[in-house]
């Protein structure tokens, strides 16, 4: 999700009465990606405040985690990153012994966090669009990649070496995890054709808050749940909508993990356990309009939300999803060069 940290931090929770200076947990997370009332409840119980530091790209998050000066105690990380950073000794191994709430998650979900995290939220990648400017819901990645003339300089894309390629690769009928140079070059040609229509390659949640860009973005690459955040930012219900293209898409999973060298590890584990219990997990998902991971949590989700196709994709969409796997180092380097080159064609 970017090279600049847009929102430095937000502190929630108050010290318990009589506590001179409350200890603070540092949470590294996407902006608007947790129900604040949950953090308030945990802080009220423990007397510990939670300070959120935001990233707006997977590449940015990984750079922050790799920084030896990082003060993060826990982090929301993509499923592939759990195993990668865990094997480097940066993340604490998690099990039902340390996080009892893990028992309410299916083994298949737990395995995707690599043994170093608890499944947090899942969803899809798709097209976000303003309902006042795009009156018919997009149905294909072509609507984003080869848009009509009216979309010139009204599209927000995404500067990430993995997920920025999802629309082009899926549209071309290729694997999102390809390391094949000719395929990536074909994706580059498609992305190059799109470039004159792109206003920004910064994540739409960040871009829409920029006074110079916000009102000019009509369509964007984003994730299920982003429409809720965008509507909150604009203060208009259903102003932003979300669609999964017919060709298929990425299905992603985020995990919440604890930093291995955190001096507040016990507190971080306690917060992860609290957030992962069924009632709290459901409350978080409902507040963010995201699907829950835990089947036990699903019982606490209102029927109207369980039946919303923007939140829980229909079976035909789920049949065409792809999952991320680790890319080769050469592929990552080529993808990053392509992203830099594409931006020059704006």
Query: What pLDDT, on the 0 to 100 scale, is given for residue 67?
Result: 84
Full-model pTM? 0.82
Query: What pLDDT, on the 0 to 100 scale, is given for residue 313?
Result: 82
Say which residues have a Cβ less than 8 Å from residue 140's Cβ, sequence separation at least 6. Answer: 171, 245, 246, 247
CA neighbours closer than 13 Å in the CB half-sphere of residue 13: 28
Query: What pLDDT, on the 0 to 100 scale, is given for residue 126?
Result: 95
In the chain the domains, ranked by start, together with CATH numbers, are: 10-122+252-312 (3.40.190.10), 124-250+320-343 (3.40.190.10)
What is the DSSP code string of 103-133? GGS-HHHHHHTTTS-EEEEEEEEEEEEETTT
Nearest-CA neighbor of 103 among 344, 276, 304, 270?
276
3-class state of residue 326 by DSSP: coil
pLDDT (tens digit, 9 = 90+) per residue, 200-213? 999 999 999 999 99
Query: What pLDDT, on the 0 to 100 scale, is given for residue 276?
Result: 97
Query: To the nearest whole number, what is the mean pLDDT of the chain?
Result: 90
Mean pLDDT per 10-residue run, the chain (346 residues)? 34 38 86 96 97 88 85 92 89 96 94 95 96 94 96 94 94 97 97 96 92 96 92 90 94 95 96 98 95 94 91 84 91 94 87
Q: What percent of the chain has pLDDT over 70?
A: 94
Query: What pLDDT, on the 0 to 100 scale, is given for residue 4?
Result: 32
Count of helix runs (H) and strand runs (E) in the chain: 15, 11
pLDDT (tens digit, 9 = 90+) per residue, 269-298? 999 999 999 999 999 999 999 999 998 999
Query: What pLDDT, on the 0 to 100 scale, is given for residue 22?
Result: 61
pLDDT (tens digit, 9 = 90+) per residue, 69-90? 889 999 999 988 888 899 999 9
Say which residues have a Cβ less than 8 Å from residue 46's Cβ, sequence separation at least 6. Answer: 16, 267, 270
Query: What pLDDT, on the 0 to 100 scale, is given for residue 319?
Result: 87
C-alpha–C-alpha distance, residues 79 and 255, integer Å: 6
């Amino acid at each position: 999700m970017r090279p600049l940290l847009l929102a430095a931090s937000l502190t929630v929770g108050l010290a318990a009465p009589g506590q001179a200076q409350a200890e603070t947990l540092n949470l590294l997370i996407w902006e608007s990606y947790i129900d604040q009332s949950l953090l308030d409840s945990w802080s009220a119980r423990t007397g510990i405040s939670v300070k959120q530091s935001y990233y707006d790209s997977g590449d940015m998050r990984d750079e922050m985690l790799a920084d030896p000066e990082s003060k993060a105690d826990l982090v929301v990380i993509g499923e592939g990153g759990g195993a990668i950073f865990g094997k480097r000794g940066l993340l604490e191994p998690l099990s039902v012994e340390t996080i009892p709430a893990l028992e309410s998650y299916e083994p298949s979900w737990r395995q995707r966090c690599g043994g170093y995290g608890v499944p947090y939220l899942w969803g899809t990648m798709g097209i976000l669009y303003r309902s006042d400017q795009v009156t018919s819901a997009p149905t294909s990645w072509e609507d984003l990649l080869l848009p009509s003339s009216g979309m010139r300089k009204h599209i927000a894309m995404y500067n990430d070496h993995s997920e920025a390629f999802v629309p082009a690769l899926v549209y071309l009928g290729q694997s999102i995890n390809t390391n094949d140079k000719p395929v990536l070059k074909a994706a580059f040609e498609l992305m190059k054709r799109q470039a004159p229509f792109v206003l920004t390659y910064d994540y739409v949640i960040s871009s829409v808050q920029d006074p110079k860009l916000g009102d000019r973005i009509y369509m964007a690459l984003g994730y299920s749940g982003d429409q809720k955040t965008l509507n909150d930012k604009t203060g208009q219900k259903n102003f932003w909508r979300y669609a999964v293209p017919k060709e298929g898409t990425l299905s992603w999973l985020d995990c919440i993990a604890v930093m291995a060298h955190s001096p507040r590890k016990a507190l971080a584990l306690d917060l992860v356990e609290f957030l992962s219990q069924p009632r709290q997990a459901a409350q978080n998902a409902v507040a963010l309009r995201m699907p829950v991971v835990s089947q036990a949590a699903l019982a606490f989700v209102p029927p109207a939300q369980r039946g919303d196709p923007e939140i829980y994709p229909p079976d035909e969409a789920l049949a065409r999803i792809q999952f991320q796997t680790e890319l080769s180092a050469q592929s990552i380097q080529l993808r990053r060069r392509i992203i830099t080159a594409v931006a020059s064609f704006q």
